[in-house]
Amino acid sequence: MFKSYFLLGLVVSLISSLGAAVYVTKYYEVMANFSLILPLWKIIATYFALGLSLSGLYFLSTRLAPKFGTIISNIVLVFATLGSILFPIMKEDFPETLEMTEFYPGFVIPLHFILPLFWLALSPLIKKNEI
Amino acid sequence: MKKYYLIISYIFLLVISTSLAFLPVDRFEITDAFSLNFKSADPSGSFNKMEGTIDFNEQSLETSKFNFSIAISSIKTGNGMRDKKAQTEEWFDAKKYPNIKFVSKTVEKEDDLYKITGELSIKGTTKVYVVKAKKSGSGNTISFAGSINVNRMDFKIGKKSDVVPDIMKVSFNLPAEKK
């Protein structure tokens, strides 16, 4: 069971990182380059940290509350994702040399949804394995 | 036994990725004591206004980054008329492109020098340049010094002329303090 969640965390992190790499590289090329404050390697590291944390959270919650663990974790994930978008909106401490900072929230917010969406899309696979 | 390997590898990956995600970057800001001079047979001069940051971590050069912006309006050649001419459309077109920018892509160590490869943008044109710089200082104050040759024709600065050479030698000394 833990192995399945661990594997799901890795797969989701990897797919999200690939998606983010395409989006971020294109955005930095065409729109505005925020690599000074948000380099791609940091996004990938964050996705792996989050993906693996979700593995742990879902595994523990389904262990502790087999009936409601998944739904509780899903709700936590949704609220945490929605709440996290406040951070880029409220960010003000940009380096002086960075331009077009008004685009920053609009650029970052989609990144906050990539991993949770992949997680919610692929997590039913675990259920199948259970049955 | 297999189960333990699984848990150990999970914890290992979680710790590594979390550490990288929250890795603090040592950010330095260029101080006003910087010098940025250009030299040729004629003219020579300096830029007196620039701002920028250096994200520098000796142990992790792949995360290091140099980012500068130099104000064209601050050019000083020792001749007021020439300084004004430098702002015109024919030369830097300062109205449309008020700043020279440099953003590094990679930083590598080569013997006792740092090889900084980055994009130099002048007058709407961006070219990749490699800058070699020597670092001095440590702790909260560091400094990078070096020089590069910039071909003004790469950026359409002025017209080809027998009086003003194409190649300008730009030397810099960039002291920076930790933010």
Domains of chain B and CATH, by start:
24-178 (2.40.128.110)
CA distance A47 to chain B (A): 8
Would you put residue B122 in left (φ > 0), alpha (ψ -120 to 50) or beta? beta
| Residues from chain B contacting residue A35 (CB–CB below 8 Å) | 65, 103
Give dist(CA B86, CA B51) in Å, integer: 20
CA distance A83 to chain B (A): 19
Pairing of strands B45-47, B35-39: antiparallel
For residue B155, what are the CA distances in angstroms to A18, B38, B91, B120, B159?
35, 15, 9, 10, 10
For residue B110, what are the CA distances in angstroms to B70, B107, B116?
26, 10, 10
The parent domain of residue A26 ranges over: 2-130
Q: Which backbone phi and psi does A66 adopt, to 5 degrees?
A: -55, -30
Axis crossing angle, helix A104-122 with helix A2-30, rounded to the nearest 10: 150
pLDDT in tens, chain B (179 residues): 777 888 899 999 999 999 988 877 778 989 999 999 998 877 889 999 999 999 888 877 887 889 999 999 999 999 999 999 999 999 999 999 999 999 998 999 998 899 999 999 999 999 999 999 999 988 889 999 999 999 999 999 998 888 888 899 999 999 999 87
| Number of domains chain A is built from | 1
Cross-chain residue pair B21–A49, CB shorter than 8 Å: yes
Cross-chain residue pair B68–A97, CB shorter than 8 Å: yes
Chain A contacts to B (CB-CB under 8 A)? 2-3, 6, 10, 13, 33, 35-36, 39, 41-42, 45-46, 48-49, 52-53, 55-56, 95-98
**Single pTM value for the model:** 0.68
ipTM given for this complex: 0.84
For residue A106, how many other CB atoms are within 10 A of its CB? Answer: 13
For residue B134, what are the CA distances in angstroms to B101, B112, B115, B142, B172?
20, 7, 9, 10, 10
SS3 B167: strand
Strand-pairing partners, residue B68, are B52, B102
Mean pLDDT of A96-119: 91
